[in-house]
């Protein structure tokens, strides 16, 4: 990839992926890498700029993340955010102090005064609200630095060394609460780093198609097609790149939403691709018999997917490459660098060690969900495919808490169908980024027809998000929830209670398992 590059160096902060999203919103490609990445490797990437992220630690702790001082000598502009500015100061022989109840510690919305002569604040309002979250503070600036912003408690809310093009902010410009955060990052990227903004889906598509053609040559390609947004976009991309060398295999593992297997087949029947539908529902359900642990579910399904694809590949003839619709959040949540494993996605951390393909191709691996949708539009995909509801590869297997049975599958398929139908009827299907039902393993007492029931509790989930790395629960109108609840309890046998999940991500994830 020949795009200009900005590197986001991960020091363990909660907003690190959001920083990457904000950079890409400026049409500039960036990658998140670990602070343990060797400086020589960073220099070899030839970045236009580097951003140090926040983190939960004090820079003076022995266990705190640090980098060699050579990082300051590669001649690249640096922006430090929160812990990142502390490391910048510490690494250049300044002093970081520990706040007490009378000084410097700040949390939440804070008024800040900027020096608008400083390049990163040029053209901004002098006074603005920022989002602070820090205990430590800058006590003494390194040589060559000046104050570029202050708050009531924090004399060095922003610092600058214009000669070296090193800048730091104590607050978080990447979050929406910081009023001019987007402009601050934009100034750093364009005015300091000299970026031109060449990261567009049109350019990405052209580059990806060329790279796929070069890699595949005359080889045969098998695409794991689920019918979801990611695999559909991957299908469109591969179709343009290699044409009839591509075979799409849709594995119906039995955990699809109601009628979805038939809908996927209908959606792709008129495409100019080789399409194969494999009914492997008995096989998958059998493999998960007695399994209740969510990680085991994901990894079992991930391995079984690969085995089915291997078998289909042998029927087709020698297939060199397997293509998956893996996207960036899948990679991050499965453990990127030093990042914690949130959950092993069936197509990343859930893959078996031995795979009978020459190579796995993941053309969307660097993209966030909204970027995948943009790419789909760029490739000419129909709206109903581009905006299809996200659906996890393991399907309803991870939306049934505990052990899976055919009866539980039937219950969840029917209830989920009703919920999605009522969301669409209310015209909310575009404004809520993901919505679905979860069958809990909790039973409770209810009353129906003057008689006692003891049946399952169903949870409804709806979220709004731009990147699927963070999400807020959707404020679905009560009347819509009520209509869905009444229909579910009356039309779906074995459910007598419906609840709505009002937890954001973090601390929760979007899926329950």
In the sheet with 274-279, reading across from the earlier edge strand, the strands are 274-279, 246-252, 221-224, 321-323, 359-361
At 347 the pLDDT is 42
| pLDDT band per the 50, 70, 90 thresholds, residue 343 | very low
Interatomic CA distance for residues 24 and 469, integer angstroms: 14
Same domain? For 349 and 227 the reply is yes
- The pLDDT of residue 339 is above 60: no
Q: What average pLDDT does range 343-359 have in this prediction?
A: 49
> Residue 135 corresponds to which tokens in the numbers above?
């205990």
Confidence (pLDDT) at 440: 96
The answer on 29 and 142 residing in a single domain is yes
| φ, ψ of residue 156 in degrees (nearest 5) | -120, 60
For residue 393, tell me if it sits in a domain.
no
Q: Which two tokens stand for residue 479?
A: 């009347």
Of the residues 170, 192, 214, the one at which a domain ends? 192
Query: What percentage of the chain carries pLDDT values higher than 90?
Result: 50
Contacts of 250 (CB under 8 A, 6+ apart): 225, 226, 227, 261, 264, 265, 268, 275, 276, 277, 278
Rounded distance between C-alpha atoms, residue 127 and residue 115, angstroms: 9
Q: What average pLDDT does the segment 358-382 reach?
A: 88
**pLDDT at 5 > cutoff 90:** yes
pLDDT tens digits for range 259-308: 988 888 888 877 778 889 999 999 999 999 889 998 899 889 988 988 88
Do both 340 and 254 map to the same domain? Answer: yes
Which of 173, 222, 239 has its CA nearest to residue 380?
A: 239
- Residue 452 domain flag: yes
Looking at per-residue confidence, does 142 or 344 come out higher?
Answer: 142
In this prediction, residue 98 has a pLDDT band, given cuts at 50, 70 and 90, of confident
Which residues pair with residue 8 across a beta bridge? 32, 51
- Domain span at residue 55 reads 5-192
- Residue 267's region, left for phi above 0, alpha for psi from -120 to 50, else beta, is alpha
Same domain, 210 and 304: yes
Same domain, 141 and 39: yes
| pTM exceeds 0.75, yes or no | no
Same domain, 368 and 480: no
Residue at a domain's end among 357, 386, 415: 386
**Domain of residue 352, CATH code:** 3.40.50.620
Token pair of 408 as six digits: 């539980």
Q: What is the mean pLDDT of the chain?
A: 87
- Give the residue with greater pLDDT, 121 vs 344: 121
Assess if residue 296 is contained within a domain.
yes
Among 192, 214, 232, the domain-final residue is 192
In total, how many domains does the chain have?
3
In a domain, 509, yes or no: no
Asked whether the predicted pLDDT for residue 344 surpasses 70, the reply is: no
Is the domain of 206 the same as that of 172?
no
List the beta bridge partners of residue 6.
30, 49
Tell whether the model's pLDDT for residue 351 goes beyond 60.
no
Verify that 359 and 225 share a domain, yes or no.
yes
Per-residue pLDDT at 188 = 97
pLDDT (0 to 100) of residue 427: 95
Say if 392 falls within a structural domain: no
171-225 confidence digits (pLDDT tens): 889 887 888 999 999 999 999 999 999 888 888 899 899 999 999 999 999 888 8
Q: Which residues are catalytic?
A: 82, 172, 174
Q: What is the predicted pLDDT for the residue at 104? A: 57
At residue 105, does pLDDT exceed 60? no
32: region left, alpha or beta (phi > 0 left; psi from -120 to 50 alpha): beta
Write down the pLDDT at residue 1: 59
Percent of the chain clearing pLDDT 70 (strictly above): 91
pLDDT digits (tens, 9 = 90+) for 243-254: 989 999 888 999
Asked whether the predicted pLDDT for residue 359 surpasses 80, the reply is yes
Question: What is the rounded distance in angstroms from the CA atom of residue 19 to the CA atom of residue 169?
Answer: 13
What distance separates the 2 farthest-apart alpha carbons in the chain? 80
Q: What is the mean pLDDT of residues 13-36?
A: 86
511 belongs to a structural domain: no
How many residues are recorded in the chain?
Answer: 513
> Region 26-46: what's the mean pLDDT?
93
CATH number, domain containing residue 423: 3.30.300.10
Claim to verify: residue 309 and residue 440 sit in the same structural domain: no
- Mean pLDDT for the stretch of residues 105-125: 86
> What's the mean pLDDT in 216-235?
88
pLDDT of residue 78: 97
* 90 in Cβ contact with 69 (< 8 Å): no
508, part of any domain = no
Q: For residue 95, what are the β-bridge partners?
A: 140
Q: What is the CATH number of the domain that holds 145?
A: 3.40.50.880
Same domain, 54 and 107: yes
In a domain, 221, yes or no: yes
Domain identity same for 230 and 170: no
Within this chain, do residues 234 and 341 fall inside the same structural domain, yes or no?
yes
């Amino acid at each position: 990839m020949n795009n200009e590059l900005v590197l986001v160096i991960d020091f363990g902060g909660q907003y690190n992926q959001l920083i990457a999203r904000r950079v890409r919103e400026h049409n500039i490609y960036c990658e998140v890498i670990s602070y343990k990445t060797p400086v020589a490797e960073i220099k070899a990437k030839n970045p236009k700029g580097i951003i140090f992220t926040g983190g939960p630690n004090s820079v003076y702790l022995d266990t705190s993340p640090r980098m060699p001082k050579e990082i300051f000598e590669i001649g690249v502009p640096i922006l430090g955010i929160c812990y990142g500015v502390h490391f910048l100061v510490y690494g250049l022989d300044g002093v970081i102090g520990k706040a007490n109840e009378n000084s410097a510690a700040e949390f939440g919305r804070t008024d800040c005064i900027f020096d608008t002569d400083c390049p990163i604040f040029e053209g901004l309002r002098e006074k603005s609200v920022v989002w602070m979250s820090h205990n430590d503070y800058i006590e003494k600036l390194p040589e060559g630095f000046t104050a570029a912003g202050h708050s009531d408690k924090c004399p060095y809310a922003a610092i600058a060394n214009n000669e070296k093009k090193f800048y730091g902010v104590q607050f978080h410009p990447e979050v929406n609460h910081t009023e001019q955060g987007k402009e601050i990052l934009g100034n750093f990227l364009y005015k300091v780093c000299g970026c031109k903004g060449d990261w567009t889906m049109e350019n990405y598509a052209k580059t990806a198609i060329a790279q796929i053609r070069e890699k595949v040559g005359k080889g045969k390609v098998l695409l794991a097609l689920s019918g979801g947004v990611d695999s559909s976009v991957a299908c469109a991309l591969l179709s343009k790149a290699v044409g009839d060398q591509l075979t799409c295999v849709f594995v119906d593992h039995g955990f699809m939403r109601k009628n979805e297997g038939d809908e996927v087949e209908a959606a792709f029947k008129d495409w100019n691709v080789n399409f194969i539908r494999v009914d492997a529902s008995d096989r998958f359900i059998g493999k998960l018999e007695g399994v209740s642990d969510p990680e085991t579910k994901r990894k079992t399904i991930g391995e079984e997917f690969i085995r089915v694809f291997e078998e289909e590949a042998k029927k087709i003839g020698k297939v060199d490459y397997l293509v998956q619709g893996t996207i960036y959040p899948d990679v991050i949540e499965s453990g990127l660098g030093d990042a914690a494993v949130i959950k092993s996605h069936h197509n990343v951390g859930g893959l078996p060690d031995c795979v009978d393909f020459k190579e796995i191709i993941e053309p969307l691996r660097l993209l966030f969900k909204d970027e995948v949708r943009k790419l789909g539009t760029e490739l000419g995909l129909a709206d109903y495919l581009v905006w299809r509801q996200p659906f996890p590869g393991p399907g309803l297997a991870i939306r049934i808490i505990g052990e899976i049975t055919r009866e539980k599958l039937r219950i969840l398929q029917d209830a989920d169908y009703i919920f999605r139908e009522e969301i669409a009827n209310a015209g909310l299907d575009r404004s809520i980024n993901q919505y679905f039902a979860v069958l809990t393993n909790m039973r409770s007492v209810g009353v129906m027809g003057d008689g006692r029931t003891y049946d399952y509790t169903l949870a409804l989930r709806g979220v709004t998000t731009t990147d699927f790395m963070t999400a807020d629960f959707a404020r679905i109108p009560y009347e819509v929830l009520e209509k869905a609840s009444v229909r579910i309890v009356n039309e779906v046998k074995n459910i007598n209670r419906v609840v709505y999940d009002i937890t954001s991500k973090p601390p929760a994830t979007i899926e329950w398992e």
